[in-house]
């Protein structure tokens, strides 16, 4: 279970202001915190970043790389910002993301082929599927589209898109996501990787309760084969849960410190 830190994102007021004003300090402090907290990758989420996105992405990537050696996950729908970020990275980043939406397919997916990067594929087209069969059909479509550009399954991270438990279809959706994950090995001979925006599940819940919802869902997803999650690396209980999942899947050597809060 790889942890992709969600924290360097434009939704965070302090970080969003620092990104827009070109002030590296707060971004570098947060990147250090997430790295020390045990994240495996750092998501850099500029949001839509229509104006000046390329310059902003280059600035944030270079600032973060001064303080962390972790692989970066470039999170933007702006292809110019995405390409500027790829060119500023010291190591190949994970691209976040494309989907079956034609514009994403045409603008972001080709960058993963051109630069031989790994890429997250959201299982959505014009809408987010609600039932498992439709979600599987979209998963097959997004993987086939990447394969056509020479991108192997091993470089595709399928994201079933998690919806908040509190919205009308949220609970049914949480079950459909688990069912889809369990069916992926039968769907693809060469395994794909998988990821999700774990915090989405708790969106709308009182802030003090969000972590509990996220930490209840993550082991369920891990048991269904989820190989990574975009999560709040600044939540010590979340990072403890991830350390213990890694040990309980025999992917890391357990030590009692894994069970301690850091």
Distance (Å, rounded) from C-alpha 165 to C-alpha 4? Answer: 21
The DSSP result for 39-56, as a single string, is: -SEEEEE-TT--SSHHHH
Q: What share of the chain is helix, strand, coil (3-state, %, to 5)?
A: 50, 15, 35
Which residue, 6 or 258, is less far from ligand THG as judged by CB? 6
Question: What mask of x and - would describe binding to ligand THG in positions 46 to 85, judged by CB under 6 A?
Answer: -----------------------------x----------
Dihedrals φ, ψ of 162, to 5°? -85, 135
Could you tell me how many residues of this chain bind ligand THG (CB under 6 A)?
Answer: 18
- Closest residue to ligand THG using C-beta atoms: 197
Options 79, 129, 197, 211; binder of ligand THG; rule CB under 6 A:
197
Options 230, 233, 239, 245; binder of ligand THG; rule CB under 6 A:
230
Q: How far is CA 154 from CA 55, 71, 110, 120, 194, in A?
A: 30, 17, 16, 11, 10
Options 72, 111, 120, 165; binder of ligand THG; rule CB under 6 A:
120
Options 200, 227, 228, 241; binder of ligand THG; rule CB under 6 A:
200
Neighbouring C-beta atoms of residue 3, cutoff 10 Å: 27
Q: Which residues bind ligand THG (CB under 6 A)?
A: 6-7, 9, 11-12, 45, 75, 96-97, 120, 159, 161-162, 196-197, 199-200, 230
């Amino acid at each position: 279970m790889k942890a992709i830190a969600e924290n360097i994102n434009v939704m965070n007021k302090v970080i969003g202001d620092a990104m827009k004003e070109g002030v590296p300090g707060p971004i570098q402090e947060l990147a250090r915190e997430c790295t020390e907290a045990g994240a495996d990758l750092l998501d850099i989420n500029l949001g839509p970043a229509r104006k000046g996105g390329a310059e902003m992405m280059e600035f944030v990537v270079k600032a973060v790389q001064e303080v962390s050696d972790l692989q970066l996950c470039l999170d933007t729908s702006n292809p110019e910002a995405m390409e500027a970020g790829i060119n500023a990275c010291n190591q190949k980043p994970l691209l976040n993301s494309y989907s079956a939406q034609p514009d994403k397919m045409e603008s972001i997916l080709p960058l993963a082929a051109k630069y031989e990067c790994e890429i997250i594929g959201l299982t959505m087209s014009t809408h987010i599927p609600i039932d498992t069969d439709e979600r599987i059909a979209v998963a097959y479509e997004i993987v086939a589209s990447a394969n056509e550009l020479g991108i192997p399954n091993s470089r595709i991270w399928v994201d079933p898109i998690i919806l908040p438990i509190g919205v009308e279809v949220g609970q049914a959706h949480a079950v459909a996501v688990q069912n889809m994950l369990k069916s992926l090995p039968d769907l693809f001979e060469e395994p794909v990787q998988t990821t999700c925006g774990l915090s989405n599940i708790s969106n709308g819940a009182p802030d003090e309760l969000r972590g509990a919802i996220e930490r209840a869902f993550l082991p369920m997803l891990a048991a269904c084969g989820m190989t990574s999650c975009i999560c709040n690396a600044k939540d010590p209980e979340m990072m403890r849960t991830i350390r213990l999942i890694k040990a309980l899947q025999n992917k890391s050597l357990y030590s009692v410190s894994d069970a301690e809060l850091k």
